Amino acid sequence: MKRTHTFPAHLDQLTAISTLIKNAALTLPAADPDMFAYEIELAVHEACVNIIEHTNSDTITVETLTEATSIQITLIDQGVAFDPAVVPVPDLSIPQEGGYGLFLIHQLMDSTTYHTRDGKNYLILQKSIVQELCNGN
Amino acid sequence: MEINIFEKTLRMGVITLIGRVDAFSVAKLDEQFDALFNGGFSEFVVDLSAVEFLDSAGIARLVTLLKRARLAGGDVRLVWPKLETAQRILKLTKFDRVFQMMETAGEPIQLTVQAQ
């Protein structure tokens, strides 16, 4: 099932976006549904915070595609593009006052892809319950 | 020495956070931290037991508190969130190795009494 919602790119929209993502993720028969949904919720939350704080986009469009064993979330913004490859990985031995967002997204999701097309930035996040079982989580 | 420990116990600020601790809500924490430091506090327990959602902005504020506390000669301890989901970010970022983690906020006082 595919659904699309567009939100103003403001921090006060984060709870609404989280609720949307959590409800979509909970429809999958994961071994640990609450943890599965929370990990996706947190990853999408971190991605949305990055969009709100760093791209100057007016809106965030959230597309959720749920299938039998996986969920794909596409976040679309019309702000400043960025290159995820240049974002440094945080040194976890030294606590930092920032810089964990992208690291968390990569840790929490099975795959993360980013591209820009026609003035829009697309961040595609995917997670499978099959992968969850393979990882023993 | 007993007086110092007693003072330390009195000056231990317990900050209890409830619900969502995220980029939208953390700005409220800065004022609270400033007030505690201005009041002479440098030892803190941040009770996360009732936290339902914790993001990277939330843990960044904990680092800010830790750095300020250590500059003032103190430290910060964290109480684990009760929800396993909310614990996830602390484990992924290995913050549970940076901070001294506790099961309840009551432990610092018990430890101090034993030290006396």
pTM of the predicted structure, to 2 decimals:
0.88
Q: Which of A15, A18, A39 sits opposite B88 (nearest CB)?
A: A39
| Prediction ipTM score | 0.88
Q: Which of B70, B85, B97, B101 would best serve as a mutation to test chain A binding (most A beta carbons within 10 A)?
A: B85
Return the pLDDT at B60.
Answer: 94
Return the pLDDT at A27.
Answer: 95
Interface of A with B (CB under 8 A): 11-12, 14-15, 18, 34-35, 38-39, 41-42, 45-46, 49, 52-53, 90, 92-93, 95-98, 100-101, 103-104, 107-108
On the question of pLDDT at B78 being above 50, the answer is: yes
Q: Which residue has the tokens 């231990």?
A: B12
Q: Cβ of B24 and A104 within 8 Å?
A: no
Q: Cβ of B24 and A34 within 8 Å?
A: no
Alpha-carbon distances of B92 from A31, A108, B50, B63, B81, rounded to whole Å: 20, 9, 20, 15, 14
On the question of pLDDT at B8 being above 50, the answer is: no
Q: Which residues contact A52 (CB under 8 A, 6 or more apart)?
A: A9, A10, A11, A60, B23
| pLDDT more than 70, % of chain A | 95
Give ∠ CA A108-A114-A119 in degrees, rounded to 5.
140
* Confidence category of residue B66, pLDDT binned at 50, 70, 90: very high
- Whether residue B24 contacts residue B61, with contact meaning beta carbons closer than 8 Å, is answered with no
**3-state SS class at A62:** strand
Chain A residues inside the 8 Å CB shell of B59: 100
Strands B75-79 and B100-102: parallel
Chain A residues inside the 8 Å CB shell of B55: 42, 45-46, 49
Return the pLDDT at A95.
Answer: 86
Q: Is B101 on the interface with A (CB under 8 A)?
A: no
Strands A111-117 and A2-8: unpaired
